[in-house]
């Protein structure tokens, strides 16, 4: 089992460009999350989903959109990238419960110039 | 509002020495509490969790943590640190009744001296 995978691992964007980050899981978990990690800030929740077709805003949703068309995939979109979105992005999953036990992907390092 | 505080940004210990990483939380009821570890360039891995019951919980890699309600703390301990324990450690709290959301502390970076 691959667990939680994230695509791509690294990306450099110019200001104003758009991109989509893909999170895929093979654990059949219901809940999925997108976080960003910045130095000295810990992890902050961007958006999350408690099931296929549902999404909700987290702590720092501005500038991002998400979709969960299939249970195993959770996409994070940046429509017009800004330097403030330079960060490491982590996807996490959680079994239905909620159990609060989250399983993390390896991360995507995004730089916006 | 819920919050998690990790007072130490960076700690250095000698290999073989004991370790205690501090975590304080703010929450109105008994929370669900977690410790995660992040090795350089990796995602986070769950070390241990507290939901209820015995206030001393054991985790992977020889770590343990103790929930102290009176002090609103959930400190992580290890009796003898190995060089491979060098990483960043995050404490997190989960809100009962929420949809599984966690609030993370800002992390403590652990360095291990040979």
pLDDT in the model for residue B28: 72
Task: Supply the mean pLDDT for chain A.
Answer: 94
CA dist., res. B43 & res. A106, Å (int): 4
Instruction: Tell me which residues of chain B, numbers 27 to 56, contact chain A at a CB-CB cutoff of 8 Å.
Output: 32, 34, 36, 41-46, 49
What tens digit of pLDDT does each residue of A28-83 get?
999 999 999 998 888 999 999 999 999 999 999 999 999 999 999 999 999 999 99
pLDDT in the model for residue A100: 82
Tell me the β-bridge partners of B73: B24, B68
Model confidence band, residue A99 (pLDDT cutoffs 50, 70, 90): confident
Q: What DSSP string runs through B7-23? A: --SEEEEETTS-EEE--
Q: Which residues of A touch B98 (CB under 8 A)?
A: 98
Instruction: Search chain A and give the residue with CA nearest B39.
Output: A106
pLDDT in the model for residue B44: 93
CA dist., res. B6 & res. B2, Å (int): 14
CA dist., res. B86 & res. B100, Å (int): 28
- pLDDT under 50: residue ranges of chain B: none
Q: Residue written as tokens 């009821």?
A: B29
pLDDT in the model for residue A47: 96
Cα–Cα distances in angstroms (integers) from residue B70 to residues B24, B25, B74, in the given order:
11, 11, 11
Burial class (CB in 10 A: 0-12, 13-18, 19+), B77: middle
pLDDT in the model for residue A2: 79
Give the number of other Cβ atoms within 10 Å of residue A103's Cβ: 18
CA distance B63 to chain A (A): 17
Would you say how long chain B is, in residues? 114
Give me the mean pLDDT over the A15-36 stretch.
Answer: 96
Q: B1-40 burial, b if ≥16 CB within 10 A, otherwise e?
A: eeebebeeeeeebeeeeebebbbbbebeeebbbbbbbbee
pLDDT in the model for residue B17: 98
Closest Cα partner for A33 from A25, A63, A41? A25
């Amino acid at each position: 089992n691959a667990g939680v995978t994230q695509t791509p691992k690294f990306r450099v964007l110019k200001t104003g460009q758009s991109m989509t980050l893909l999170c895929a899981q093979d654990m059949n978990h219901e809940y999925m999350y997108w976080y960003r990690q910045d130095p000295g800030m810990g992890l902050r929740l961007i958006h999350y989903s408690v099931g296929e077709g549902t999404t909700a805003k987290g702590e720092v949703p501005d500038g991002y959109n998400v979709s969960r068309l299939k249970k195993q995939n959770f996409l994070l979109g940046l429509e017009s990238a800004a330097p403030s979105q330079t960060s490491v992005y982590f996807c996490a999953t959680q079994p239905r419960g909620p159990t609060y036990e989250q399983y993390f992907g390896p991360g995507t390092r995004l730089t916006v110039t | 509002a819920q919050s998690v505080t990790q007072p130490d940004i960076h700690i250095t210990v000698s290999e073989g020495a004991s370790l205690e990483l501090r975590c304080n939380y703010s929450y109105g009821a008994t929370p669900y509490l977690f410790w995660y570890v992040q090795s350089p360039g990796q995602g986070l891995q769950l070390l241990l969790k507290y939901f209820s019951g015995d206030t001393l919980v054991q985790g992977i890699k020889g770590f343990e943590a103790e929930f102290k309600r009176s002090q609103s703390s959930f400190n992580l301990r290890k009796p003898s640190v190995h060089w491979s324990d060098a990483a960043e450690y995050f404490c997190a709290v989960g809100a009962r009744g929420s949809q599984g959301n966690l609030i993370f502390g800002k992390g403590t970076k652990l360095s291990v001296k040979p």
